[in-house]
Each structure stands twice: as structure tokens, then as C-alpha cells.
Structure 1
Amino acid sequence: MSSASVPPSARLSTVVLDARDAHELAHFYARLLGYEVRAEEPHWVLIGPSDGVAGTALAFETEPAYVPPVWPTRNAGDQQMMLHLDVEVDDLEAETARAVAEGATLAGHQPQADVRVLFDPSGHPFCLWVRTSQ
């Protein structure tokens, strides 16, 4: 039987980000996304949407040796970005201002008019974007 005829049983449940302080970063994203804390341990936190609301859970793990990525990459030896989160918003300017008020930093390089690149408190790049066409 080919794998194409068997439905996969694997499902992506959570994206995990390393940080110097898992709790600080988890609470930043909980405020930004309106998520709630689902589980908390000394070096690990899981957040997600309220029950019944669609969305991907996020977890954060304390990694004392965490080094923030450089974005955009400038030199061959820079810490590379491993991933980034895209967050769709209705009002780009208002949500950018709110993200900055919550602790994000606006990136110096902005590649598109309908996207804002920001850095979370641990230095992970993330994008706020608005849908411009259906």
C-alpha cells in the first residue's frame, strides 16, 4: 500500500521557540495574540488560543546559550534565522504600534508595504501582515 493512499496520522500541534527567558517571551506572545497560558514549568511555557478558537499553539523553552538571529543576514558568520512567525492583522499600523508597546522592536529593513517585520523581546523576527487581495 502506498503512503499516498493512507491518510497521515501526524499533525503539527505546536511551534517551539528557544529564548533566554521562556516566560517573558511566552507572556509577550500571549498578549500579542490574545492567547492563554496552557501549561507552565520552570523552563518551558505553552500558550494557545482559548478553547474552541482556531490557531496554532506556541511553546517556549529557556535556552541560556540562545543567540538571536541577524535579519536580514549580512555576513556569512551571522546567526541565521531558522524560522519566523507570520501574524495576519486587520490594521497594520495599529497592530504594529501595539506590538511595539508590548515589547517588540520594529526592524530597520521593511521589505513590503503590506508587511511589518518586527523582533520579539528575544530577537526572533516575526511579521505582521494584511491581506491585500482575496
Structure 2
Amino acid sequence: MLTGLRWSTVCLEALDGPALAAFYRELLGWRVKAEEPDWALLAPPNGGPGLSFQSDPGFVRPVWPTRPGEQQLMMHLDFEVDDLDASSARAVELGATVGDFQPQDDVRVHFDPAGHPFCLWVST
């Protein structure tokens, strides 16, 4: 183990990192902890690792479900919610899209405005 090592954030790339940060700020209700012209960091209200967003002019939207020869996704975010339908509607209102393929009844796959997949799910 490295001394003093602490997990602080997960960074998502997009064509416009700060714009994607604004989407997640509204979706999650987190605060902007730091911001630069091409980067932003969101922090959860009760502490813990945040999410950061970096602009990358070469960003290519991932494809999901994956298809040979297409840009592969590298990760996705999962958010537990109390009401799947209401939470999904709010995400769409903020700019997310709902995936055509939905593999489970208690999970709703969405794509943020940059195309990163994220799942809203309820405990059954």
C-alpha cells in the first residue's frame, strides 16, 4: 500500500468537461468544489470521492451495448434511487437519454449528454 494514498475522484472526459459537470451537478445535487476552463470537480455533500470532468477535443462517444469496431465504454456510473421512474424522468429532463437496451427491470440505463452510460437502480 502507498502511504497517504486516498481515492479522491473519478474523471470523465467529454468534449466540454464543465458542461458535463453542470449536468451531473443538477442530477446529483453536488457542489462544484473546483473549476478551471477545461475541468471541473464536483463534491458530494457528505464527503467522499467526487467526480471530475475534463475537456478532451478528441473525445469519442462510447457505444453501448458494445459492438465490434465501435468505441468501447471503459466504465459506467451506478446511482441507487428511491423511485426509478421519477429519477429517470428527471435525468431525461436534464439532458440524459434512456438506452434502447434495458437488461434488468430494476435498473434503467441512461446516457449523459456526452454519451457516457450511467445506471439508475432500485433495491428490490
Q: TM-score range by the shorter chain?
A: over 0.9
**Cα deviation, residue 10, structure 1:** 2.2
**Cα deviation, residue 28, structure 1:** 0.3
- Between the aligned partners of 1:79 and 1:13, the Cα distance in structure 2 is 27
Runs of 4+ in 1 over 4 A off after TM superposition: none
Structure 1 counterpart of 2:107: 115
Q: 1:8 to 1:127 in 2, by over 3 A?
A: farther
Question: Structure 1 residue 60 and structure 2 residue 53: aligned?
Answer: yes
Q: CA RMSD in A?
A: 1.4
Once the two structures are superposed, residues 62-106 of structure 1 have per-residue CA deviations (whole angstroms, 9 ceiling, x without a partner) of 0011001000012x2110000000011000000000000000000
Match of 1:18 among 8, 13, 16: 13
Once the two structures are superposed, residues 20-61 of structure 1 have per-residue CA deviations (whole angstroms, 9 ceiling, x without a partner) of 0011100000110010111110110001113xx144300000
**Cα deviation, residue 8, structure 1:** 6.1
- Between the aligned partners of 2:102 and 2:6, the Cα distance in structure 1 is 33
Structure 1 counterpart of 2:119: 127
Instruction: Give TM-score scaled by structure 1 length.
Output: 0.88
Match of 2:62 among 66, 69, 81: 69
Instruction: Give TM-score scaled by structure 2 length.
Output: 0.95
Which one has the largest radius of gyration?
1
In structure 2, list runs of 5 or more residues that go unmatched.
none
Identity of aligned residues (%): 58
**Cα deviation, residue 11, structure 1:** 2.2
- Between the aligned partners of 1:109 and 1:8, the Cα distance in structure 2 is 43
SS, match of residue 112 in structure 1: coil
